[in-house]
Amino acid sequence: MRIVPAVDIRAGKCVNLVQGDYGKETVFSDNPLEQAKIWWDELREGIIHIVDLDGAKSGKCEILPFLEALGREGIPYEVGGGIRTVDTIERIVSAGAERVIIGTGLVKNPELLQVAVSKWNDKVVVAIDAKNGNIALEGWTQETNFSAVDIAQRAQRWGARRVIYTDILSDGMMKGPNFIATQQIAQSLRIPVTMSGGVSSLDDIRKAKALEPFGVDEIIVGRALYLKKFTITEAKQILSSE
């Protein structure tokens, strides 16, 4: 299992939201590129998770120059938020992205995933962002009646190579992830799952590692790293232990 540090960007700054609420924002850095470099210097393997919060609301990529800068630095990254057209995916992949995350675009335009997989194969990842078991869209501002498990299984049938599952009610709360919901998603799929939302301690990292047999092989961490609850190195030591 791997730790995946997060860099969420809004208005050019590195921020963190509570439960996806744009009104509950903490700014951790005025320079997202420097923050990504700090995480990568300690990580040195794997991938950095980038979220375009402005793009998630506007429906278009708002951070392309930042992504291009990451590519020039040689930092592997995945990016989500506002990725709803093939043209946007093309530009992001050209900027150097290792993975492109489709969320709202999958539900509103199912053909997008199928076309993306046919062109970019294992670079295509699906975000399953759920509140009380149902999908939320448009930067988590729009709740739906779509079952998270059903959409995840649909994404798998359409060719997604990985699912990133985020429990919205856990995100940013520093009270631990929703391990039960994550396990349910993982057990319903044959493709790997990345856990996201709520990691607050090394004990959470240990519990996450226990989900590895079910197909959970990555865990995204944001706020806990910024608040220095633990370091990337400490998390890696736990995840690499037998």
**129 part of the active site:** yes
Looking at residue 241, its pLDDT comes to 80
Looking at residue 197, its pLDDT comes to 86
Q: Tell me the CATH architecture of domain 2-240.
A: Alpha-Beta Barrel (3.20)
Gyration radius of the chain over CA positions: 16
> Given 8, 52, 171, 204, which residue is catalytic?
8
Average pLDDT, rounded, for the chain: 90
**217 part of the active site:** no
Does 105 have pLDDT greater than 70?
Answer: no
Q: Which residues of 3-19 are buried (b: 16+ CB within 10 A; e: fewer)?
A: bbbbbbbbeebbbbbeb
> Per-residue pLDDT tens for 120-175?
998 999 999 887 777 876 555 567 678 889 999 999 998 999 999 988 766 555 66
Q: What is the average per-residue pLDDT within 175-200?
A: 92
Looking at residue 202, its pLDDT comes to 96
Q: What is the average per-residue pLDDT within 81-108?
A: 90
> Given 52, 54, 129, 171, which residue is catalytic?
129
Q: Can you tell me the distance from the alpha carbon of 58 to that of 22, in angstroms, rounded to the nearest whole number?
A: 13
Confidence band (pLDDT; 50, 70, 90) for 19? low
Looking at residue 138, its pLDDT comes to 57
Q: Hey, where are the domains in the chain?
A: 2-240
Looking at residue 106, its pLDDT comes to 75
Residue of 231 and 105 predicted with greater confidence: 231
Share of the chain above pLDDT 70, in %: 91
Does 113 have pLDDT greater than 80?
Answer: yes
- Written as six digits, the tokens of 166 are 């985020």
Q: What is the average per-residue pLDDT within 231-240?
A: 95
Q: What is the average per-residue pLDDT within 179-190?
A: 95
> Per-residue pLDDT tens for 23-70?
778 899 999 999 999 999 999 999 999 999 999 888 899 999 999 999
